Amino acid sequence: MTKFIVHDEPVGRVQSNYIAQADLAPFGLDGQMEQLWLTPLKDDTYSIACIPFQTYGLALGDRVRLSANGQVSEVVGSSSHRVLRMLLMPAPDPKQLTETMDRIRTAIDAAGLLSEWSGDRHVAVDIPPEAEPSVLFDIMQREVSEGRAFWEWADAMAFSAQH
């Protein structure tokens, strides 16, 4: 049974969006697919219209090509955006988790960045080339240092459509 990672509120949602899948097996997540929102372009390519939660090597605005079965098969152009992802650990005190989420949301908003949440504990943040997210980095690093979260860059691995 395949598990689908979905985007409930993609940052680039428009009327003409298209949904495709990215197989997460090349990234060690066998049996999982991420549903990515795409904007069709004129040359049979698509622009990523969401901030990927699990897929490595993709970011908002990247141009991709699809395979015959509707899966993202290759990156044909980079937007130069990066994705910073953070997973918050379950907290014994729900109030603590809420406060952490509020601090992160406030820092994202203050930096003028776009983000998407998957549930209450997983956030993906779009970092455009001109962004200065130092306050967000400081808050995230504190959460990691105190053992309350993990974070990673989505470009830590290149995109791959093959095992």
How far is it, in rounded angstroms, from Cα 41 to Cα 77? 12
- Provide the pLDDT for residue 92: 81
- Provide the pLDDT for residue 163: 59
The domain ranges of the chain are 3-77, 82-156
Structural contact between residues 151 and 85, judged by C-beta atoms closer than 8 angstroms: yes
How far is it, in rounded angstroms, from Cα 107 to Cα 130? 16
Please give the average pLDDT of every successive group of 10 residues along the chain, which has 163 residues.
81 81 89 93 94 96 95 96 94 86 93 93 95 91 92 94 74
* Beta strands 32-40 and 3-5, pairing class: parallel
Structural contact between residues 85 and 122, judged by C-beta atoms closer than 8 angstroms: yes
CA distances (Å), origin 143, targets 83, 100, 106, 120, 123:
18, 8, 15, 15, 13
**82-156: which CATH architecture?**
2-Layer Sandwich (3.30)
Rg (CA), the chain: 16
